[in-house]
Structure 1
Amino acid sequence: MKMMTVLFASSMLLSSCYSYTSVVGEGAKGNSQTTQWNHYVVYGLAPVGVSDSKKMADGAKDYTVFTRQSFVNGLVSALTFGIYTPSTTTVTK
């Protein structure tokens, strides 16, 4: 039982944040960034409010979308026991 507890605690502590990048057109040409949180419930299974990268790009044809679960997002998720699971989207144009 003690070994199972240690393995479970280790797996929780060693879990990592995720991130992915999408390039639209030729990608970002400058350093102008817009950041918004995405709102999910039930461990990220049900979206409540998700950012629209096209609106965030404000008409730009070439931009880069970077979506991640930051440390702060993970902390909020842990504090709510996964009931609320946010992520962050940043659009660079």
Structure 2
Amino acid sequence: MKMMAVMFAASMLLTSCYSYTSVVGSGAQGNNKTTEWNHYIIYGLAPVGVSDSKQMAGGAENYTVHTRQSFVNGLISAITFGIYTPTTTTVTK
């Protein structure tokens, strides 16, 4: 019973990868996706290289921007003890 409680608590605590979505204009009209990584240091406090969603959209007026910390991003952040903290941005046109 204790093991199940520990597993449940761990599964709830490990689901905290953040994600946010921005809709520009009417939002994505198709399935054309462009993905880039954003580079931060010191637990994400200092940006080193951040993608430009407007440039990624390639002049489109309607698109959706989804920025998240994926499992791979979180793994890299954990391995580097938060010194390097990447995120992923996907623009859908």
Q: Please list, as runs of the form range in 1=range in 2, the aligned pairs for 1:71-86 lying within 5 A after superposition.
A: 71-86=71-86
Matched, 1:50 2:50: yes
Q: Which runs of 4+ in 1 moved over 2 A?
A: none
User: 5+ residue gaps in structure 1?
Assistant: 1-9
Q: Please list, as runs of the form range in 1=range in 2, the aligned pairs for 1:6-17 lying within 5 A after superposition.
A: 14-15=13-14, 16-17=16-17
User: 5+ residue gaps in structure 2?
Assistant: 1-8
* Partner in structure 2 of residue 88 of structure 1: 88
* Partner in structure 1 of residue 5 of structure 2: none
CA distance in 1, matches of 2:57, 2:80: 31
Q: Percent identity?
A: 77
**TM-score for both structures, normalised by structure 1:** 0.86
CA distance in 1, matches of 2:66, 2:42: 23
**TM-score for both structures, normalised by structure 2:** 0.86
Q: Deviations over 1:35-67 (max 9, x none)?
A: 000000000000000000000000000000000
* Partner in structure 2 of residue 5 of structure 1: none
1:14 deviation in Å?
1.4
CA distance in 2, matches of 1:30, 1:14: 35
- Could you tell me which amino acid in structure 2 is paired with residue 82 of structure 1? G
* Partner in structure 1 of residue 32 of structure 2: 32
CA distance in 1, matches of 2:62, 2:29: 7
